[in-house]
């Protein structure tokens, strides 16, 4: 069952009230359209994804969007319908059974909603499946209450049998605001409306951005990591990816960097991927390996590039090694390694008041807690 998907990203954003297009407005590291493409890409392969773009777009923005499609970006038209026509001209429609059309301004579409659409279109009774919401507020027209049960609001993505869609949409000439509108008045078309998703918001005004930010926070995950290493006499110690002069060194199979090791475990915890020992057992090939190299391997494993770090809190406990004058350097280095803002990182140093293995300078330990959206 082959599905081709068109993401319409060439709107004018006139209601957004900002010089910058709403689609390229950044929310937690990524633009609105990137969030949309990340979500739809979980269900549609790159080769089957086509994206329309506005006339005013930078080379950098084009480069970012190109990562999500195996096809050329398509210049949109002056209306939604014209953008759709431009996209359809670039597609070998004979290769596909179904056509999905999606708004680039819907950055919070769930996999489950897309799955419901696909499952329903498989039923040969329907030529189109559209998500829609019942109106829950009291509805007014000309200062009078009307029956809200007679109305609903439609969403995207919408999915169609491609042959039927192409046959019937040519016979209309209206300024459609959604895609099923192009064929809904044809008596031969059977449309099924399914329950939409109230979280599948469309970004129209800047207030919608604030709502979307809250949805992202609900999706965040927390991971906790702990590491401890014996201390021995030495000349320097690796901590947070930098080497600092010290009369102590960490004794371990690798370089014994407790901060990086605890961060690795925190990342794995937040993404439910196990622990550091799962990926780096005490084998000969990992002997004396840099913890930066270990962190980079884990970053790729959990796809940290496409994650958003909300904050990272670190507590190092050691009696003799004082971190105060190194905190800024460690934060800067961690921000570089994790590709996040240094202001999202907090480092605390604690002594143990000469109590236990930490207080006797027999060991150094670290706790790290990370909050991220993956």
| pLDDT value of position 283 | 87
Exposed e or buried b for every residue in 325-336, given b needs 16+ CB within 10 A? ebbeebbebbbe
Give start and end residues of each alpha helix (H) in the chain. 32-40, 59-66, 80-89, 111-121, 162-169, 206-218, 258-270, 276-279, 291-301, 327-338, 356-359
Tokens at 364, concatenated: 């150094």
Least confident interval from 48-62, 99-113, 128-142, 351-365: 351-365
The domains of the chain, with CATH numbers, are 3-218 (3.90.550.10), 221-373 (3.30.1330.50)
Least confident interval from 103-112, 153-162, 175-184: 175-184
What would the pLDDT profile of 201-224 be if each residue is shown by its tens digit? 999 988 999 989 888 877 789 999
Question: What's the rounded mean pLDDT across residues 191-198?
Answer: 96
**% of the chain with per-residue pLDDT over 70:** 97
pLDDT above 70: residue 173? no
What would the pLDDT profile of 79-102 be if each residue is shown by its tens digit? 899 999 999 999 999 999 999 999
pLDDT band at residue 170 using 50, 70 and 90 as cut-offs: low
pLDDT above 90: residue 28? no
What would the pLDDT profile of 3-19 be if each residue is shown by its tens digit? 999 999 987 767 676 66
| pLDDT value of position 347 | 96
Distance CA 198, CA 299 (A): 33
Its pTM surpasses 0.85: no
pLDDT band at residue 257 using 50, 70 and 90 as cut-offs: very high
Tell which wins on pLDDT, 231 or 90.
90
Distance CA 284, CA 362 (A): 25
What would the pLDDT profile of 301-335 be if each residue is shown by its tens digit? 988 877 889 999 999 999 888 888 999 999 999 99
> Count of CB atoms within 10 A of residue 301's CB?
15
| pLDDT value of position 95 | 95
pLDDT above 60: residue 171? no
| pLDDT value of position 361 | 83
């Amino acid at each position: 069952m082959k599905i081709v998907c068109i993401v319409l990203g060439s709107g004018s954003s006139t209601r957004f009230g900002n010089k910058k297009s709403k689609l390229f407005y950044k929310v937690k590291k990524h633009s609105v359209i990137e969030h949309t493409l990340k979500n739809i890409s979980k269900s549609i392969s790159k080769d089957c994804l086509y994206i329309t773009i506005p006339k005013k777009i930078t080379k950098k923005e084009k480069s970012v969007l190109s990562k999500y499609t195996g096809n050329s970006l398509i210049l949109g038209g002056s209306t939604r319908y014209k953008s759709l026509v431009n996209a359809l001209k670039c597609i070998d429609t004979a290769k596909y059974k179904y056509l999905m059309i999606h708004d680039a301004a819907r950055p919070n579409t769930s996999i489950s909603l897309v799955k419901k659409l696909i499952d329903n279109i498989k039923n040969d009774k329907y030529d189109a499946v559209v998500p829609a919401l019942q109106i829950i507020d009291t509805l007014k027209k000309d200062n009078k209450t009307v029956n809200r049960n007679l109305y609903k609001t439609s969403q995207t993505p919408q999915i169609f049998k491609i042959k039927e869609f192409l046959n019937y949409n040519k016979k209309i000439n209206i300024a459609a605001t959604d895609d099923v509108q192009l064929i809904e008045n044809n008596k031969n078309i059977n449309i099924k409306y399914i329950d939409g998703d109230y979280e599948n918001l469309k970004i129209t005004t800047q207030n919608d951005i604030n709502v979307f930010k809250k949805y992202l926070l609900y999706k965040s995950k927390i991971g906790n990591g702990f590491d401890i290493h014996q201390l021995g006499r030495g000349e320097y110690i690796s901590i947070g990816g930098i080497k600092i002069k010290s009369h102590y060194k960490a004794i371990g199979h690798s370089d014994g960097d407790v901060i990086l090791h605890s961060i690795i475990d925190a990342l794995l915890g937040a993404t439910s991927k196990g622990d550091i020992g799962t990926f780096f057992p005490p084998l000969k090939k990992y002997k004396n390996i840099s913890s930066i190299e270990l962190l980079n391997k884990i970053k790729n494993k959990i796809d940290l590039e496409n994650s958003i770090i909300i904050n990272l809190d670190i507590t190092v406990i050691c009696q003799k090694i004082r971190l105060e004058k190194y905190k800024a350097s460690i934060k800067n280095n961690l921000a570089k390694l994790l590709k996040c803002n240094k202001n999202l990182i907090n480092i605390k140093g604690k002594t143990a008041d000469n109590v236990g293995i930490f207080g006797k300078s027999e060991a150094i330990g670290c706790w790290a807690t990370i909050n991220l959206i993956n």
